[in-house]
Amino acid sequence: MKTAAAVKTCDMLINGKWVQARSGETREILDPGNGEVLARVPRADREDVRDAVKAARDAFDKGPWRKTTALERGKLLFKIADGIRAHGKMLAELETRNNGKPLAEAEFDVADAANCFEFYGGLATKIHGETMQVPANSVSFVVREPLGVCGQIIPWNYPLMMGAWKLAPALAAGNTCILKPAEVTPLTALELGRIIQEVGLPPGVVNIVTGPGPVAGDELAANHQVDKVAFTGGTQTGRKIMSAATGNVKRVTLELGGKNPNVVFADADLEAAVDGALFGAFANQGEVCSAGSRLLVERSMHKALVDGMLKKIPRIKLGHGLESGVKMGPLVSASHRETVESYIQIGKQEGAKLVCGGKRPQGAAFAKGNFLEPTIFDDVKPAMRVSREEIFGPVLTVTPFDTEEEAIRLANDTEYGLAAAVWTKNVTRALRVVGQLRAGITWVNTYHPTYNELPWGGYKQSGIGRELGLYGIEAYLETKQVNINLDETPIGWY
């Protein structure tokens, strides 16, 4: 593992300049794998956010950005993608050190972030309107225009990738942005800001503020100069943002929590289902809104599937994400680990059968990090809290079922509706079950692959709207009708 670099003091990006918070307050950013201080970043308050909003407002209303053609915007996004790739090694290592995820996962996130900017760079020139035949003597058509100033709040589990998911479509559509990364994982977002500066976006088009959610995030949601707020994170916070956004009825996109069912039928390929269940639950330490944290398995395969997972659990090597061969890193913070541990205790108290994990790993290598063993509860009843509430950590619950109808009922018995998967060799059954699952993202015989070309978002309390794909840019566009009267005579109404 690499030795720690010297602690540096970072600035945030407002109106094309790197600045400290007005108050001068900072926050220490820690490596969750060893507790080392990585950096100190500004602790923005409401006034700092208002500065960023004004910069974005002026850049949209008065600056050159509105006159930038779609082709020019697209080329700038291509350059951002190239910049991400050029700095890919640094970004991946920084992501691992700040977030805790294994380096291989961080490298994938960096590649995906670059691909996202590239996808929307190509889409910038393909924003279509339409012409319509109307009853009057009029040339009538529809145009699509940018919304304006967009506040974007991203979570700590995928800092760079979520930044790309938010910024790329907004910029392709011609908006200006204020990006607020999570308090504990701002470092790759700030590096993304440097890349954006290097490619030559005008001042104020992209601003990046680092501050606490209840202050900086709330100001973005409530500020009347912000035309849209996009948020990825917990459902409870999403409700607060939605409420704050009503002040000026700003547009809202929310990608929220999940308690996602991973449904395995008896005719599924056992080895593939074992791998899919483990990857669905423990990738990125289970700190994934779409994690397959509820494993529903047909009773005749139940024992074989659980036994198969227990045999493979020892292959999940824990350690600092920069160490070779590590498959699961630390949780993002000490406080979050305590939250996850509290759910493990709840599961025990509720009578769920703990079949592996549930403890902090022992040894000097783990002493200073926020490590937790991959944990599986078997014979979990649907009413138990560990089966109903989002834990957001490496905790998998297993619940057997007897019929297809029961599997569908259990899968949908949740306030969430983000993701779900089905494992079966019967394509008819797969399509039949997927068609009845109330979730925005579904997989058959796999788990977790996501694509920039397809929409991402959920049903029910998992959110509002969609990101990525053509749907992602729609969320950053207004629709305007234009009517040109061809009659050269007065209306004559009066």
Residues involved in catalysis: 255, 289
Residue reference for tokens 């490298």: 107
Torsions phi, psi for 267 (to 5 deg) = -90, 5
Please count the residues of the chain.
494
Planar angle of CA 371, 376, 381, nearest 5 degrees: 135
Residue reference for tokens 């030795």: 3
Contact between 224 and 82 (Cβ < 8 Å): no
Contact between 153 and 213 (Cβ < 8 Å): yes
Alpha-carbon dihedral sign for residues 280, 286, 291, 294: positive
DSSP per-residue codes, 405-424: HHHHHHHH-SSEESEEEEE-
Q: Hey, what are 56's tokens?
A: 């974005």
- Residues 6+ away with beta carbon under 8 Å from 242: 252, 254, 464
Cα(348)–Cα(449) distance, rounded to whole angstroms? 32
Q: Integer distance in angstroms from the first to the last C-alpha of the chain?
A: 82
Q: To 10 degrees, what angle do helices 187-199 and 88-99 make?
A: 160
Residue reference for tokens 């994938």: 108
Contact between 426 and 214 (Cβ < 8 Å): no
Residue reference for tokens 């950096």: 39
Alpha-carbon dihedral sign for residues 55, 58, 59, 60: positive
DSSP class of residue 217 equals: I
Contact between 244 and 220 (Cβ < 8 Å): no
Contact between 14 and 55 (Cβ < 8 Å): yes
Residue 62: count of CB within 10 angstroms of its CB: 10
Contact between 87 and 235 (Cβ < 8 Å): no
- In 3D space, the residue among 387, 384, 407, 388 whose CA is nearest the CA of residue 300 turns out to be 407
Long-range Cβ contacts of 333-336 (<8 Å, 24+ apart) = 333/30, 333/32, 333/184, 333/370, 334/370, 336/287, 336/370, 336/392, 336/393
CA distances from 424 to 305, 349, 399, 490 (A): 14, 34, 17, 69
